[in-house]
Amino acid sequence: MENWSGIDETVKRWIGEAGENIRASFTHSLSIQSKSNPNDLVTNVDEETERFFIERIRTSFPSHRILGEEGQGDDVQSLDGVIWIIDPIDGTMNFVHQQRNFAISIGIYEDGIGQLGYIYDIVHDELYHAKKGQGAWMNDVKLDPLDPVPVEQAIVGINSTWLIQNRHFDQEKLIQLANDVRGTRSYGSAALELAYVASGRLSAYITMRNAPWDFAGGKMIVEEAGGVVSKITGDDIDMLSVNPVFAAAPGLHEDILNNYLK
Ligand code: 2AM
Ligand code: CA
Ligand code: CA
Ligand code: CA
């Protein structure tokens, strides 16, 4: 039996320290490399931040496993036991080019069920967090349960590339959705966009391709705030694969799913 309150206190302390280190890195020069393509960036700070968490988790919680974007954790093939799913910097392109709109994202799952979720917007010092069955917070402020939002008043987070080219489904319907809603936004950080759905800054977020470390923290936080997270088909998210993710306020999730995504 895990002591989730104790783990929660520990994670918050570590996130604060990691945030300090990232802030301090603004004054140093970054080492930037490309991964799968010239626009897929990783920096020394992504790798150092992932290592920061891994070293501490291994010492304090040796039985827990770690799935991290930069691959320094474990080769996780099943959801058994406690798994920390970590994106050390979500929004690396923003980190490199804009020094804002990036976050640390951590989801802690036990046998596939989210227990603790964290998204830390370092520049704004905003920590979104959730505890299974207890709700979600932004810093010390508890988030109100999300109210339904009509499509015509919705602000939807979507990356323009999905409107221009996507092989996942009928583009016309996505373009119709972009026309029907009040506005669209694209922040370039899946984790922050999920945190914004949880806090009501966005009414929905749609993406065709998110990895587990992009959504593990955010899924928990949105659900604890009363929102709904699924694949764009409405099916459950697979926690170990890349998924097309659709998160929204209650009611709006059903409306967009039935009228635009199906
Ligand atoms: P990252 O910055 O951690 O790589 C940008 O639109 C969002 O998509 C960010 O959350 C970014 O996370 C994520 N992202 C970037 N490249 C991706 C890829 N190849 N597959 C899935 N998500 C990606
Ligand atoms: Ca990346
Ligand atoms: Ca990411
Ligand atoms: Ca990342």
Concatenated DSSP letters for 6-51? Answer: HHHHHHHHHHHHHHHHHHHHTTSPP-EEESSSTT-EEEHHHHHHHH
Say what the pLDDT of residue 227 is.
Answer: 98
For residues 208 and 155, membership in a common domain is answered with yes
55 vs 59: CA distance, rounded Å: 6
For residues 136 and 88, membership in a common domain is answered with yes
Q: How many domains does the chain have?
A: 2
What ipTM score was computed for the predicted complex, to two decimals?
Answer: 0.96
Cβ atoms of residues 260 and 156 within 8 Å: no
Say what the pLDDT of residue 8 is.
Answer: 98
For residues 127 and 177, membership in a common domain is answered with no
DSSP secondary-structure letter at 153? G
> Which residue's CA is the closest to the ligand 1 atom numbered 6?
188
Q: Which residues, given as ranges, of the chain have pLDDT below 70?
A: none
For residues 71 and 166, membership in a common domain is answered with no
Distances (CA, A) of 125 to 120, 121, 131, 139, 159: 7, 6, 19, 8, 25
For residue 3, report the distance from its CA to the centre of ligand 1, in Å: 32
For residues 9 and 135, membership in a common domain is answered with yes
For residues 165 and 199, membership in a common domain is answered with yes
- Among 119, 142, 165, the domain boundary falls at 142
* Domain span holding position 207: 151-261
189 lines ligand 1 (CB under 6 A): yes
Q: Which atom of ligand 1 is nearest to the CA of 42?
A: 4
Environment of ion ligand 4 (residues, CB < 5 A): 69, 87, 89-90
Say what the pLDDT of residue 67 is.
Answer: 98
Say what the pLDDT of residue 1 is.
Answer: 84
For residues 67 and 34, membership in a common domain is answered with yes
247 vs 205: CA distance, rounded Å: 5
For residues 163 and 216, membership in a common domain is answered with yes
Distances (CA, A) of 65 to 22, 53, 57, 60: 24, 12, 9, 12
Say what the pLDDT of residue 164 is.
Answer: 83
210 lines ligand 1 (CB under 6 A): yes
For residue 91, report the distance from its CA to the centre of ligand 1, in Å: 7
214 lines ligand 1 (CB under 6 A): yes
Q: Which atom of ligand 1 is nearest to the CA of 213?
A: 3
For residues 156 and 123, membership in a common domain is answered with no
218 lines ligand 1 (CB under 6 A): no
Rg (CA), the chain: 18
Say what the pLDDT of residue 171 is.
Answer: 84
For residue 214, report the distance from its CA to the centre of ligand 1, in Å: 7
Q: Which atom of ligand 1 is nearest to the CA of 189?
A: 10
Q: Which atom of ligand 1 is nearest to the CA of 41?
A: 4
Say what the pLDDT of residue 219 is.
Answer: 98
Cβ atoms of residues 204 and 256 within 8 Å: yes
For residues 130 and 194, membership in a common domain is answered with no
User: What is the β-pairing status of strands 82-90 and 103-110?
Assistant: antiparallel
- Among 142, 164, 182, the domain boundary falls at 142
User: What is the β-pairing status of strands 126-131 and 103-110?
Assistant: unpaired
> Which residue's CA is the closest to the ligand 1 atom numbered 9?
189
For residues 174 and 129, membership in a common domain is answered with no
- Among 142, 165, 185, the domain boundary falls at 142
Say what the pLDDT of residue 55 is.
Answer: 98
> What CATH number has the domain bearing residue 21?
3.30.540.10
Strand order in the sheet with 65-68: 65-68, 82-90, 103-110, 113-121, 126-131, 135-138, 141-142
Cβ atoms of residues 180 and 151 within 8 Å: yes
Ligand showing the shortest atom-to-Cα distance for residue 46: 4
For residues 102 and 181, membership in a common domain is answered with no
Sequence letter at residue 49: T
- Tokens 């508890």 sit on residue: 142
Catalytic site positions: 69, 87, 89-90, 92, 214
> What CATH number has the domain bearing residue 227?
3.40.190.80
Say what the pLDDT of residue 169 is.
Answer: 72
Say what the pLDDT of residue 62 is.
Answer: 98
